[in-house]
Structure 1
Amino acid sequence: MSSNTPLAEQMRPKTLDEVLGQEHLTGKTGTLRKMLQNDTLNSLIFWGPPGTGKTTLAEIISESSGRKFYKLSAVSSGVKDVREVIDAAKQQNLFSGKSPILFIDEIHRFNKSQQDSLLHAVEKGWVVLIGATTENPSFEVVSALLSRSQVYVLKSLPYDKLEALADLALTRYNANFHTDFIIKDKEALIQYSGGDARKLINSVENVLNNFRNSDKKAITNADVLEVLQENMALYDKNGEQHYDIISAFIKSMRGSDPNGAVYWLARMLVGGEDIKFIARRMLILAAEDIGLANPNALTVANNCFQAVNVIGNPEARIILSETAVYLAASPKSNSTYTAINEAMAFVKKTGNLPVPLHLRNAPTKLMKDMDYGKDYQYAHAHEGNFVDLEFLPAEVKGTKFYEPGNNPTENKIREMLKKKWNDKY
């Protein structure tokens, strides 16, 4: 294959053994492998996030089963295209004896009439339908078509598989261009991919292309971020002083000094600063630095933001001053700010862990058959409206992110949490 071909296409697996991840489908006891070994192929729908191998598996099934492969994209195809493929498939069926595969990418984008146009061909066995969707087929695929298809769930690739894939992409790239790059750090590439194999390979190719004509050989996280991250342009009204003064304003309120807060507020107002910008920053501070120590602070700050949009200058200065003094005088806690930062860092480190089955929504029969919602206990049906139930993925159960601050309001919260979750608090 030409080195001009995108790296992701060059690396597309040709057999089930080459597929990374999805072992529940492709492994030695996987359902797809058994289906191919027994030559018992039925219509099916692959449901999973982008870059998990839906198209690749469809092509492998076609090649392994010796069936002709027709591919349509629901984005650009209509009923006419479907009928043309079905007519061609009927003719093919007469000669080969095997029903061709009709693969429809993003099948959830087909409307009801388009999906209905597939029904007769599926029922008659003129085609074996393979649909790919990132959306829940219970909601996006008509029930008649869904009942004639087997749904297979594809999962985002785990961290170790993404690491292995990045190594494979690097090896293939070096072979293509006779380079000797190494990737010292893979965290940024993997985080950027979001579990999407295609995006990861494209990112490796993009980053290495950027340094191909340079002397750099060892690629770091910083190099990856330099190439992949969009640098947001800073808002600059009056130069460096703009940022210094708003910083002093925020730090005065965080430090519980109403005099400093009013002084820096006055400096900004006299300098012509946007009053909505000031109000927004106080709204952020109310959540970040006061939080649950005084939950009313967020309401006050939000009311301030709404009011200055209605009132405008010069009277807005009064509302801004009242709010700044209130926030400065409020008790402080950054417990919820710390909690969400730690949780987000944890998520980036651990990836997209599956939602426990007992916490999943199960409005359809398909989802109930997959044990969605099984063993969930409704809190209000228990004494004190509480039941000791695990709400985190099994891999990280018991992890604690929120630590109440030492202030009257959160001390009460801590006592309440101790009574309910004495092993955590």
Structure 2
Amino acid sequence: MKPLADLVRPTNLEDVVGQQHILGQGKLLSKIIKSSHVTNMIFYGPPGTGKTTVANIIAKTTDKKLYKLNATDASLKDIKNIINDLGTLLTNKGVLLYLDEIQNFNKKQQQSLLKYIENGDITLISSTTENPYFTIFHAILSRSTIFEFKKLTNVDVYKGLIRAIEIVENKVLNKNIDYDDDAIKYIANISNGDLRRALNDLEIAIYSNIRNEAFKLDINIAKECTQSTGFSFDKFSDSYYDTLSAFQKSIRGSDVDAAIHYLARLVQAGDLKSICRRLLVIASEDIGLAYPNAITIVNSLVEASLKLGFPEARIPLAQAVILLASSPKSNSAIKAIDKALSDIKTSNFGDIPNHLKDAHYKGASKLNRGTEYLYPHNYANNYVKQQYLPDEIVNKKYYEAGNNSTEKKFKDFLSKLKS
């Protein structure tokens, strides 16, 4: 018997759940499919969101010869075999190649298709779970339309599960399946937007219990067949960078709950090193001088986390996240150093004034090194006015105090000192 996910795979657009932003009435992909004029396309999105299903539906609308390859196990030889069929009676109306997981093809393998895509002998529909702008050869990107498939909502997955139950009832078992709606909603919720995973869980729930005449798919069976959510985390994928980005932006935005949520994703993935590094960056980049002691406290919590390791490390990590998200914010430090670095890279910033240069060697005075330097500690309040910046940028301002109590105190102090 076919796996349930294949058995219930939709054969028309009306049965595809989700993706209304591209498949809804009047949307681009929907119009392309209905026109039967198929062009090169790249389907990009998480697993179980309908990429293969839609590709199969498209294949039905064309009279081109269909080939399917999965780049995970396909080789250059497989591509050459398809190319060798070009121009024969078998392919006189052209070839439609569906290439799944194209990110697993290297540049040479992708380039081998380019000539035939360009002249129209092969129409390519490829799918990938990774950002195509990072993984697909630019020449193929420029000749393709990219459609992003989004993670399904719980409602979308629920609809797909109900449809699957009806198909199993009518075409496989020829009897009704007794189930609690809460059990189906639970399976949908824990699938994390992956319909294929939800269907696999449903298949286990049904076929492992169906011989029991009193069987009812209740919440207990649903929990037994779904041990954990479909959370996935690949350190080299979009999700890695997206999660770290959302983590820092939530702390920067002072949303404690969101910050803890993204921390939980990173903890679940076991990525201790990245969490610690990012927390130390945030302490200086986003909190900075608004709460100067934050970096000291966070550093201690990071050290504790690294010594403890998971699972205990989650506790000091959570402490650090809550502290940073709840702290006043200032980016004055990073703005100051980046502004200075920009000058170093792009302008004539001049020579260091002679009175600031090193004078700890014989003959320094003959070169006028340090001879006019004024030692601040010899003056009232340990301050004396003198030039520190080079002549070319003598009036340059890099640091602007942030709007927080700590930096206002610093600003007032310097203002009084220099007056």
Q: Output the TM-score relative to the length of structure 1.
A: 0.54
Q: Which deviations, in whole Å up to 9, do the C-alpha atoms of 1:247-269 show, x marking residues without a partner?
A: xxxxxxxxxxxxxxxxxxxxxxx
5 Å matches for 1:319-338? 336=322
Deviation at 1:16, TM superposition (A): 1.6
Structure 2 residue 150 is matched with structure 1 residue 152: no
Change (3 A) 1:336 1:218: farther
User: Any idea what the Cα deviations from partners look like across 1:198-234, whole Å, max 9, x if unmatched?
Assistant: 111111111112221235543233321222217xxxx
CA 334–15 in structure 1, closer or farther in 2 if over 3 Å, else same: same
Query: Could you tell me which amino acid in structure 1 is paired with residue 59 of structure 2?
Result: S
The whole-number CA distance in structure 2 between the counterparts of 1:153 and 1:305 is 38
> Of residues 42, 46, 49 in structure 1, which corresponds to 2:46?
49
- How far off is 1:303 after superposition? 5.2
Give the 3 Å change call, closer, same or farther, for CA 87–219 of structure 1 in structure 2: same
**CA RMSD for the aligned pairs?**
3.7
Q: Deviations over 1:99-137 (max 9, x none)?
A: 221010000110000000000110111110011001111
The match for 1:118 is: 113
| 1:40 shift after superposition | 2.8
Following the alignment from structure 1 to structure 2, what is the Cα–Cα distance between the partners of residues 151 and 307?
Answer: 45
Q: Amino acid of the residue matched to residue 144 of structure 1?
A: A
Conservation of the 8 A alpha-carbon contact between 1:70 and 1:103 = yes
Structure-to-structure mapping, 1:19-418, within 5 angstroms: 19-92=16-89, 95=92, 98-175=93-170, 176-177=172-173, 178-185=175-182, 186-229=184-227, 336=322
Runs of at least 5 residues in structure 1 that lack an aligned partner in the other structure:
231-291, 310-326, 328-332, 340-380, 387-411, 414-425
2:12 counterpart residue number: 15
| Separation in structure 2 between the aligned mates of residue 199 and residue 12 of structure 1, nearest angstrom | 13
Corresponding residue SS for 1:102: strand
Amino acid at match of 1:118: L
**C-alpha spacing 1:40/1:180, structure 2 compared with 1 (3 Å):** closer
Tell me how far apart the structure 1 counterparts of residues 17 and 59 of structure 2 sit (CA, whole Å).
19
Do 2:17 and 2:156's aligned partners in 1 also have CA atoms closer than 8 Å?
A: yes
Deviation at 1:300, TM superposition (A): 5.3
CA contact (8 A) 1:70 1:101 kept: yes
CA drift of 1:171 comes to: 1.8
CA-CA distance at 1:307 after TM superposition: 7.4
**Alpha-carbon distance, 1:61 to partner:** 0.8
What is the CA-CA distance between 1:382 and the residue it aligns to? 12
Q: Choose 1 or 2 for highest CA Rg.
A: 2
Residues 115, 209 of structure 1: CA spacing in aligned structure 2 closer, same or farther, 3 A cutoff? same
Using structure 2 for the length normalisation, give the TM-score. 0.55
Amino acid at match of 1:48: G
Paired position in structure 1 for 2:382: none
Distance apart, 1:27 and its partner CA = 2.5
Percent of counterpart pairs with the same letter? 30
Kindly tell me: are residues 144 and 334 of structure 1, through their superposed partners in 2, closer, same or farther at Cα, counting changes over 3 Å? closer
What do the CA deviations read for 1:338-370 (whole angstroms, capped 9, x no partner)?
x9xxxxxxxxxxxxxxxxxxxxxxxxxxxxxxx
CA contact (8 A) 2:179 2:218 kept: no
The count of residues paired between Structure 1 and Structure 2 equals 261
Q: Any conservation in 2 of the 1:187–1:221 contact (CA below 8 Å)?
A: no
User: Does structure 2 retain, via aligned residues, the 8 Å contact 1:100–1:126?
Assistant: yes
Quick one: structure 1 residues 308 and 82, their matched pair in 2 at CA, closer, same or farther if it must change by over 3 Å? closer
Whole-angstrom CA distance in 2 between matches of 1:11 and 1:382: 62
Name the counterpart of 1:250: none
Distance 2:197 2:95 in 1: 30
**Secondary structure, in 3 states, of the residue corresponding to 2:58?**
helix
Q: Structure 1's 16 and 90: CA in aligned 2 closer, same or farther, altered over 3 A? A: farther
